[in-house]
A and B are shown apart, each in its own frame.
Chain A
């Protein structure tokens, strides 16, 4: 007797395949986070903002490369590019960091995560890595375009290309520094609230509200106060680190002899941000 056309309920099948360890789980969460930062796998609406920012940044890089190839002078070098784009990056992290962590708090999905092999530290590492990568891509890809523009219009052949590589690599490293500062601060703020709008507002406030403090300190009649003014805001802090490492005082911020303090504060700021984030999720993970 033929049963053609009958749908058989094959019943429940046990899973016999491999079960991957925590490293693979962390990788999966990182990949998921990185896709989410650019709205991949999400609705069209959530792609608008990240890709809008990415578009502007890329456009600036293309114009910069074009101007340089025509006139031979930079609008921005690799460092100045990061500094100038930092305002856009603030808005990028203000939208993306809440997307990464506030969303999970809001929907209450964390008990599902933490009842699996995932630990609080894994979650923090995956989210920080995703945002650092996203910010780095946002700055690093345009820098690569600037490099390609410079390399292809090099008048001194391979030597010129190598010279250009020598400029690009520290530029990329500088972007990594920016990425870490932005990621640690914005994720920490976003992890405190499940409301995305509050988180976004908080992030913008921390980055922008500190700028006037720098402005006030830098016009005080004390030379030391002027040199240390940049410590008050994350953005001038990074510029200060750049000025210290490159030994320059013509970059719009003068750190005087206090460059090393800028370096220490940047390091402490990132470390403290990450540790506080970890402490926060230790608490959240126990439900």
Chain B
């Protein structure tokens, strides 16, 4: 199911700053990573999806709805967690989440029930009756997530949800987001400039740079084709390279290693046999699963 669809979406701010240009992308339900450096246009994209900004040209559809004209219907189905601090210090988490629940259109009792549900799901129990001002950064991030969940959206837009968290807090937040995406049946768009943490939990990835789409695809299709075997022999590297090329492999020398893409199941055995036939002293045989990040660096250098 397509949840977000854009057609040549362009946003130019007054003063001629282009935040998004010609973005055309179809996003399937699931956990989606939206990656890009700071200023790449991630926040602008989110604001357009929420109907806070109107696109300069092009179209955007969220659940088939136009955020510009059907703002309320879109917002009822979307929860937003901003990047910045956005919690009043002098109320308790449960009061605050109840309040924003009512602002989402929930009746009073439903808002209270949903608020304690949402806080329970993000892992805040007794602490929720304490004032937010006394919370740790990790707890505040959880409250921010709970307020986005309170009205039971079908899509969560999370802007840098791991901002300011320590490594353990990051892991916990990412696990929680993954759970929301897989167990709760809610699609999640996770904005981040850290590719490494996003690729761990996402089904698909949208990478934008300077407002342009770099790549949008499922993580699985990005990484399966990129399994690489690194072979290192103590001597006879050139012999091995030519032998492998003769077998039809695409060999890339990388320092003292040879990188050989594994395009088929039997490739591993054939490479190993080639080394054995030449009787070379095998130093290292290392199957690498390319990280998504490497795909981008490779592509960017290719572009230059």
Contacts and interface: CB of A to CB of B under 8 A. Distances in A.
Contacts of B185: 12, 14
Interface stretch (B84-92, B162-170, B228-236, B259-267): B84-92
Contacts of A73: none
A142 B151 CA distance: 41
A22 interface: yes
Given A15-B151, A41-B95, A116-B75, A287 B85 contact: no
Contact of B87 (A12, A29, A43, A109): A109
Contacts of A114: 52
B47 interface: yes
Contacts of A109: 86-88
A212 interface: no
B105 A287 contact: no
Given A19-B76, A118-B103, A42 B147 contact: no
Contact of B80 (A19, A108, A111, A118): A111
Contact of A42 (B53, B90, B105): B90
Contacts of B99: 28, 32
B53 A29 contact: no
B184 A29 contact: no
A111 B184 CA distance: 25
A109 B95 CA distance: 14
A270 interface: no
Contacts of B121: 12
Interface in A80-132: 103-104, 107-109, 111-118
Given A12-B184, A15-B114, A111 B103 contact: no
B86 A20 contact: no
A11 interface: yes
B84 A117 contact: no
Contacts of A21: 72, 105
B110 A12 contact: no
B193 to A, nearest CB: 19
B52 A20 contact: no
A145 interface: no
Interface string B93-118: 00100011011111110100010010
A13 interface: yes
Contacts of A13: 117
Interface in A1-35: 11-15, 17-22, 24-25, 28-29, 32
Contact of B72 (A14, A112, A117): A117
B183 interface: yes
Contacts of B75: 115-117
B50 interface: yes
Contact of B106 (A19, A43, A118): A19
A284 to B, nearest CB: 11
Contacts of B84: 108, 111
B105 A19 contact: yes
B82 interface: yes
A204 interface: no
B25 to A, nearest CB: 21
A165 interface: no
* Count class of interface residues, chain A: 35 or more
A107 B89 contact: yes
Contact of B85 (A20, A104, A108): A108
Interface string B45-77: 001001011000000000000000001100110
Q: Which of A25, A114, A115, A285 has the most CB of B within 10 A?
A: A115
A38 to B, nearest CB: 15
Given A21-B105, A25-B105, A117-B104, A107 B82 contact: no
B151 A25 contact: no
Given A15-B151, A24-B105, A28-B103, A111 B82 contact: yes
Contacts of A11: 183
A11 B183 CA distance: 8
Contacts of A22: 72
Interface of B: 47, 50, 52-53, 71-72, 75-76, 78, 80, 82, 84-91, 95, 99-100, 102-108, 110, 114, 117, 121, 147, 151-152, 183-185
18 contacts: A14-B185, A15-B114, A18-B110, A19-B151, A32-B99, A41-B95, A42-B91, A46-B90, A104-B88, A107-B86, A107-B87, A108-B86, A109-B87, A109-B88, A112-B86, A116-B75, A117-B103, A286-B52
Given A12-B183, A112-B147, 13 more contacts: A13-B117, A18-B107, A21-B105, A25-B102, A25-B105, A28-B99, A42-B90, A43-B90, A109-B88, A115-B80, A116-B104, A117-B105, A287-B52
